[in-house]
Amino acid sequence: MPYVLADESFRTKENVTTRCREILSATPDGSLVSDSALPFLLDLFRHHDEWAQKTAGGVVGISTQTTSHGTRCFVLVRNGGGTIDISFPHAIRLIPSTRTANLIPQGLRDFRSAARNGVEAQIRDFRDSQLVSSSVCPITGEALHRGNCAVDHAPPTTFDSLLFNFCQSKGINPITVAVGSINGTVAVFNDPLLLVAWQEHHRENAVLRLVSRIGNLQLPKLAVQWSLLCQ
């Protein structure tokens, strides 16, 4: 069975290694890895047994360097400057061998995307109101500005738990909900009454906070038992 890291599926650990080497090859020394590679690496490095120590004080990015032995490796960029190396082969070895792909059904993916898009205006308004005053990321400690910030649903009321509670209260099976799209890319609810009900639920219950984009990616993933609804 495959391994899953940040929604990327790999058949073997060798495939995970190949993905890491591709990112290393594409990232010059001292440059930050691409936005598309960052979620995968953060998910992988959480398996490293020194992750907590290496990220103490906040991590604001992942870069690359060439070691004194001539090999290339990843480094964590710390808040306030400085880096610390982290071994991707070691992290890969520590991925549980029984890890399997708990793939989300496409219907549920579409439903969640439509729900996120449905409250995008609320998220944007919150971000704009918070950026009026200076603030720092509670995860990484870096100063926040429009170019590096994201809006997080503060735990334990994460976005998924909020959406799950909404579905549970309304008796909704998310994979049966009709989801359309705008221009074939932006998922939307076909039912306008469902959209309004979800927007009201989100407005009344969401606890939002401003974090950095990389801080948002470092947050632990809290499991939601969608299978209880998708039957």
Q: Where in the chain is the domain with CATH 3.10.450.40?
A: 3-93
- What does the pLDDT read at residue 2? 78
- What does the pLDDT read at residue 178? 95
Beta strand residue intervals within the chain, DSSP E: 3-5, 8-10, 59-66, 72-78, 83-86, 149-153, 179-182, 186-189, 208-212
Fold of 3-93: Nuclear Transport Factor 2; Chain: A, (3.10.450)
Q: For the chain, report the end-to-end CA distance as a whole number of angstroms.
A: 24
- Distant-in-sequence, close-in-space partners of 183: CB < 8 Å, separation ≥ 6: none
pLDDT (tens digit, 0 to 9) for every residue of the chain, 231 residues total?
578 898 888 999 999 999 999 999 999 999 999 999 999 999 999 999 999 999 988 899 999 999 888 889 999 999 888 999 999 999 999 998 755 545 578 889 899 999 999 999 999 999 999 998 878 999 999 999 998 999 999 999 999 999 999 999 999 999 999 999 887 788 999 999 999 999 999 999 999 999 999 999 888 877 788 888 876
- Contact between 64 and 44 under an 8 Å Cβ cutoff? The reply is no
b vs e for 97-120, b when ≥16 Cβ sit within 10 Å of the residue's Cβ?
Answer: eeeeeeeeeeebbbbbbbbebbbe
